[in-house]
Structure 1
């Protein structure tokens, strides 16, 4: 007997014995109904919906990045500080959110602790001001802040010198290795749960099978986290010096995706695989902050990004790789909540009392030899 008692199986093949070898006597409509079942038609419609959602989500997030309240520190003499802060906060469209810093050292610490994305240092005794930034936290936002502050100084007939206090590693390209690592781990997690669903049924037959399946996903998650850390550190030297931290972040990321994917499948059967695609790929990837940080995304994607596993995991990887783990407490809670929620839902939906409810009632599985 397979794990999937109550799971969803195949229909035994497209061509059914009908006694009509040529099929011509039944006409085109007859052949169409026989070749494309109602279930297959619904699956095709679902795929079309996901396809359109993918296009809309990615284009909606990336087609016109616009800065919105990017946090910036201002270091200026007392007599000019208020004027500069108010001037930046009063820019049309609110592209930055400026706050005062006591001195350059404090501003650097604010950047490295992920409280702000850049610092604007005003020196009234010279004609050149300084912009401090950490492009490892997101090259796009660093470039955007620089352009905004350069325009501000040009209006006052001043120039800007840029100092990057934490650039990406030489092998990290444009600082996108964190995002690519997370994409791979997330895909591996939900595909692992989907593989078990397709092999043994989307809904485990009892609570013990739930534990076994989750245990299998945990083992895969440990191996995935280790493999991802090996790839980004010793193999390509993209994110170096934090091997153990990246390993265990990878474990939690993969397991969060796997457990959540399993919970979706327990609730919805194989339709849960489509829901996993929507959460992790269609909405999760463009809103994660990997390509454009949240301060450059439209409101919808900015609002959901750090609440989804992709966004939380990207923040964890990036901030541990470059900023010592500062600013990651919320990301830890979010990723842990998805993992714990997936485990809890999977167990609750598999309890005998829950299985009697119509919501969790699975169709009878085909007889297997």
Structure 2
């Protein structure tokens, strides 16, 4: 209380606005807000950069003709198209071309008929409607320059319930979201960093059980319930389990290294970089070089490619994506345990004790 010379006692002096702001928003909170802003801007940049101007780039395209000379001439004409939209290669016959499309070695095939003016273009809309449409437009225009036309044959069409072959992509995105949210909830509830290796292994075990349930339920919803994906339920279940666990383990690993900030790092990797480069809305040949390069190496891209392979291509060409997911899962799990070991070592016990004095949101270890 204060007393004025000519009046009664007054209440406590009021703080200025700046002082109130300093009390209400800590330095840590301010830094986190700026971090969120940076993540938001990265999100906008990544999505707009990947999708604003899709262009076909060196898509593998087979060329078939009754003679090698005719096929070679057609391939050379396609190879010199401006911007290198296709990468033509001569194959022996239509059977070989169809087999390579089904094996996901190529994305289309032009069957040249020198006896007439109409050729046949084989595509696979199940690989992505935007990709097959871009191939059709490019080859049709090239054929028109030669005063020829094309008849379109969809060798591997998408399911009637899978509009533009996007269901597998959305299923993968849902699985990824579940993976990092599960790991984030474990951090929020008991501390971002596990206190010891036992706690780290327990978190990984809980994540595995969650992944098994999420993989099965996501598959059942997309498949038998909504009839959107006609692929094998056990195969999609296995893929979903691995994908959810992989993304969750990545989040746990980042949390072990950086505390609650690790959740933001996981979102940066999986959502900001992984989703637009996954080949969902626009398959890899339509993406700019940066996103086209990183997509196959990140969990959303590997998951989307594998889901389409299971659904429409009898599981062909899945070795690479499954190795990518397995490498991320094993590496992130080992890093999660290694982070716990490091924090439990004698040289870090003092810092660990100090961390426990703060709330879980401040990035402390669990008890």
TM over 0.5: yes
Corresponding residue for residue 116 of structure 1: 106
Corresponding residue for residue 159 of structure 2: 169
Corresponding residue for residue 341 of structure 1: 331
Point out where structure 2 has 5 or more consecutive residues left out of the alignment: 1-10, 360-366
- Give yes or no for contact 1:224–1:251 (8 Å, CA) kept in 2: yes
Alignment pair present for 1:157 and 2:173: no
Q: Structure 1 residues 198, 353: CA separation in 2 closer, same or farther (over 3 Å shift)?
A: closer
- Give yes or no for contact 1:217–1:255 (8 Å, CA) kept in 2: yes
- Give yes or no for contact 1:71–1:116 (8 Å, CA) kept in 2: yes
Alignment pair present for 1:72 and 2:72: no
Point out where structure 1 has 5 or more consecutive residues left out of the alignment: 1-21
Tell me the C-alpha RMSD between the 2 structures. Answer: 1.8
> Tell me, what secondary structure is at the counterpart of 2:109?
strand
Please give the alpha-carbon distance, in whole angstroms, between the structure 1 residues aligned to 2:142 and 2:82.
Answer: 12
Deviations 1:93-130 (A, max 9, x none): 11100111100111000100000000001001111001
Q: Which has the larger radius of gyration?
A: 2
Please give the alpha-carbon distance, in whole angstroms, between the structure 2 residues aligned to 1:241 and 1:233.
Answer: 7
Corresponding residue for residue 41 of structure 1: 30
Corresponding residue for residue 52 of structure 1: 41
Q: CA deviation at 1:165?
A: 1.2
Match of 2:117 among 108, 127, 130: 127
TM-score w.r.t. structure 1 length?
0.91
Q: Which one has more relative contact order, counting CA pairs under 8 Å at least 6 apart?
A: 1
Please give the alpha-carbon distance, in whole angstroms, between the structure 1 residues aligned to 2:276 and 2:347.
Answer: 37
Which structure 1 residue ranges, 4+ long, deviate > 3 Å from structure 2?
352-358, 360-363
Q: CA deviation at 1:241?
A: 4.0
Match of 1:30 among 9, 19, 32: 19
> Tell me, what secondary structure is at the counterpart of 1:85?
helix
Please give the alpha-carbon distance, in whole angstroms, between the structure 1 residues aligned to 2:227 and 2:342.
Answer: 50
Please give the alpha-carbon distance, in whole angstroms, between the structure 1 residues aligned to 2:248 and 2:346.
Answer: 25
Please give the alpha-carbon distance, in whole angstroms, between the structure 1 residues aligned to 2:345 and 2:121.
Answer: 60
Alignment pair present for 1:366 and 2:366: no
Corresponding residue for residue 103 of structure 1: 93
TM-score w.r.t. structure 2 length?
0.91
